[in-house]
Every structure is written in C-alpha cells, then in structure tokens.
Amino acid sequence: MKRAIVTGGQSGLGAACATRLRADGVDVVTLDVSPDADYVVNVTDNTAVEAAIDKIGTVDILINSAGIVGPNMPLWEVPLADWMKTFDVNVHGLFTVTKAVVPSMIERGWGRIVNIASMAGKDGNPNLSAYSATKAAVIGLTKSLGKELAKTGVIANAIAPAVIATPFNATTSPDVLAHITSLIPMGRVGQPEEVAALVSWLSSDECSFSTGAVYDISGGRATY
C-alpha cells in the first residue's frame, strides 16, 4: 500500500484529496494545524516537519495543499508582515515539506508530488497580490522540480484551480470573490471532489509521462 502525506489535509481541497486517495486504497497521513490532523504541524516549522516525516516513514505521494489567502487589499496597502506570512505558508512551507520527502522518493525510484497552485498564479487576482505571487512561485517551483526529477521515477506536477466551493474562500472579500467567479466561462464554482479526481490521477501510476506541468481546473477560465 502506498502512503501519502496531505498537507492542509483537514479542510477544503486537502480534505477532499485525502478522502479520494483513501478511496483509492492509499494510506493517507494528514499534516495540518488543526488538532484533528494525524500530525499537528505548521508547515513553516522546519523542525516539526522533519520530525513528523521521520515518524511517518516511507512517503510515496505528497499533496501540498496547505495554504492561506493572505491580505485582501491593494498591493501598496499590504503590511509587510502579512506579505511575509503568506509566502511563509504558501511557498516556504511547501518547499520545506517537499525537500524533506524527495530524497527518499529518489532512492526508491518512485514518487508523486502534486502542488496546489491557483489560477491567481497564472492571471493575477486584483487585491490578492500576495496570494497571486505565492501561487506563481509554486508554479515556477513545480516546473523546475519536474525537470530536476525527470529521470528519477519521481513526478511533480501542479494544478491551478479557479474558485472552488471550500471554506478557504470564506476569508476572501465578497467583491473579490464575485469578480473571480465571473471570469469562469462555465458560470459556476468548482467542487472539491472535481479537484480531488484530478489529483488522484496525478498521484497514480497512470500518470507516467507528465512532469513539471500545470493542470488547469478552472471551468475554462485559463487553458494555457
């Protein structure tokens, strides 16, 4: 049985991915700040991340889903502390967890990494400059990592969802949420289960000739 770590696995997209992977027969371990997580870990804490992974043991699949929206305001009004916190969770946390699991994946010659990016990282969302910048960073990191791992048997891809019906959007201001929803040609928000289905494939043996890619799941908002 393969084992997966899902960061942010207690809510939203992370929880949906954890549920789907369990249904696929994967042993799922969640890392989250929620007290209900298998390991209560803040991904920005390098020491805590490494300690948790040492206890978990073999990791075949990593779903980097932990993230925050960050400040909802024009860039010139964003406090530096809020800017830094958004990067700490969305980028540095992802880096920390990924770095901790990749060497053993390479050693075994098999691994799947799926990074949750966002349409904001492709298009930029107004009044979400910090969030958009972090998701662009996730996309760039994934493209580099995919090339670095291309001959190892370890595959790294990203997905770029548009607005998905999760509690994550509860902290997004209504006008911003309305704007980004209006950009979706299908005229609706996505469902967590739809995202989890894509993540399921990207985590499987069937995904064997794609790495460093960014998969659109946006109801047609962006197809590049």
Q: What is the CA 218 to chain-centroid distance, rounded? A: 15
At position 192, the amino acid (one-letter code) is: P
Three-class secondary structure of residue 150 per DSSP: coil
* 131 catalytic residue (yes or no): yes
* Residue 207: other Cβ atoms inside 10 A: 17
* Residue 138: other Cβ atoms inside 10 A: 23
Exactly one of 39, 131, 215, 224 is catalytic; which is it? 131
Q: Convert 60-79 to b/e letters by CB count within 10 Å (16 or more is b).
A: bbbbbbbbbbbbbbeeeebe
Whether 127 and 73 have beta carbons less than 8 Å apart is answered as: yes
Query: Active-site positions?
Result: 131
